[in-house]
Amino acid sequence: MTSGSFAENLLTWYDQHGRHNLPWHHDRNAYRVWVSEIMLQQTQVATVIPYFQAFIERFPDVQSLAEAPVDDVLSHWSGLGYYARARNLQKAAQTVMEDFGGTFPGTQEELESLTGIGRSTAAAIIAQAFGKRAAILDGNVKRVLARYHAVPGWPGQTSVLKQLWEHAEAHTPNERVRDYTQGIMDLGAMVCTRSRPACHDCPLHGGCTAYARKETNLYPGSKPKKAKPEKTTWMVILEDHEGRILLERRPPSGIWGGLWSLPELDPAFGPDELQEACEQKLGLDCDEPELISGFRHTFSHYHLHIQPARLGVTGQNTLRDDGQQKWLHRHEALSLGLPAPIRTLLTNPEQGTLPG
């Protein structure tokens, strides 16, 4: 089967079965496409849609995003995960304002110069926003091409990725590239799924090597597994006599970077040592701790066991001088950018085991 028939068959399927009415398809421009592409990294379309709509309502253009307080940006990302995406999004918006006069660049090289934009995301913006030919290779496309051509190995390996890019370039047509890129992403998400692909509904199964060999389960190859480390921390809900809770901003890089969270204490402390630990680390006099059911939150590279405890603050509620702490009522805290498990904990502190 030629590369031309690959694209033709895919486009015929897309016309009948593809997604044509996604929010970023309306008033389509580089900014809206870019925001959607960043949100769709590691995240399914159904999850992204309400976040995208709320984000665009608050930040309708690149200037409003560039000039917004970082807490506002993070609060509109709260719950979407992979928070470095939000910080990179704003940094890139600021670069567009400073270096490109507020106009989104339209070349692969210029787009890749922006923070958080790689080869495939840049190509998606070029194809979707500007209608120019550019080959994409997101997770869904990798799966389609790995099966179609029976490319062995994990796509994270350089040699495997190189082969997949060559196939992506070869199959991308010169015409209707906007529909083609949406179509191949839709095919991977809706038909050529990770498990139980609907091969009989696939417009490409006639030329698919993995299907012909009945080996779709072998492609793409899996990432070599490593046991995730287990970590533990105390998270303390410190509440003063006004009902305010102490929050701390996390460092700009790393897990939950830049978000507001609860103070953490060394897991080596026993429950009966938390009062003293709060005084030593935070300079606060507290009541005896009330333990709340712990839970596990899983990150991409480790499991974190969170043991929450609630302590009333009896003395003066001091703050550090660096502006990285705040005493806030719960409704004020929930308006900030918070990690999802912290938001759940503050919303329903009496809940038992919380979702990871």
Report d(CA 268, CA 60) in Å as an integer: 47
What local confidence, expressed as pLDDT, does residue 225 receive? 84
Tell me what the pLDDT averaged over the chain comes to.
92
Report d(CA 162, CA 258) in Å as an integer: 35
pLDDT in tens, 43-71: 999 999 999 999 999 999 999 999 999 99
Q: Hey, what are 235's tokens?
A: 């998270």
- Check residues 78 and 188 and name the one with the higher pLDDT: 188
Amino acid occupying residue 235? M
Cβ burial of 52 (10 Å; 0-12, 13-18, 19+) is buried
Please give the full DSSP string across 269-336, using - where no structure is assigned: S-GGGHHHHHHHHH---B---EE---EEEE-SS-EEEEEEEEEEB-S-----TTS-EEEE-HHHHTTS
Examine the residue annotation and report whether 166 is marked as an active-site residue of this protein.
Answer: no
DSSP H or E stretch at residue 64? helix 62-67
Q: Hey, what are 118's tokens?
A: 């790689």
Instruction: Provide the 8-state DSSP code for 295.
Output: E
Q: Hey, what are 159's tokens?
A: 């040699």
Q: Tell me which of 8, 37, 242, 332 is the catalytic residue.
A: 37
Is the confidence at residue 353, as pLDDT, over 80?
Answer: no
Report d(CA 339, CA 259) in Å as an integer: 7
- Mean pLDDT (whole number) for 132-142: 97
Among the residue ranges 25-29, 181-185, 231-235, 322-326, the one predicted with the least confidence is 322-326
Helix and strand element counts for the chain (H, E): 15, 8
Report d(CA 19, CA 168) in Å as an integer: 21
DSSP H or E stretch at residue 183? helix 177-190
pTM to 2 decimals? 0.82
Cα distances (Å, whole numbers) of residue 225 to 106, 154, 218, 280, 301: 39, 11, 16, 40, 11
Closest CA to 176 of 343, 15, 341, 2: 15
CB-side neighbour CA atoms (13 Å) of 333 = 28
What local confidence, expressed as pLDDT, does residue 350 receive? 56
The contacts of residue 48 (CB under 8 Å, 6+ apart) are 36, 39, 40, 80
* DSSP reduced 3-state for 314: coil
Give me the domains of the chain, ranges plus CATH numbers. Answer: 3-218 (1.10.340.30), 230-347 (3.90.79.10)
The contacts of residue 290 (CB under 8 Å, 6+ apart) are 309, 310, 311
Q: Are 199 and 216 in contact (CB under 8 A)?
A: yes
Which residue carries 């529909």 as its tokens? 179
Amino acid occupying residue 68? A
pLDDT band at 349 (very low <50, low <70, confident <90, very high): low
Cα distances (Å, whole numbers) of residue 354 to 152, 212, 293, 327, 348: 39, 45, 8, 24, 10
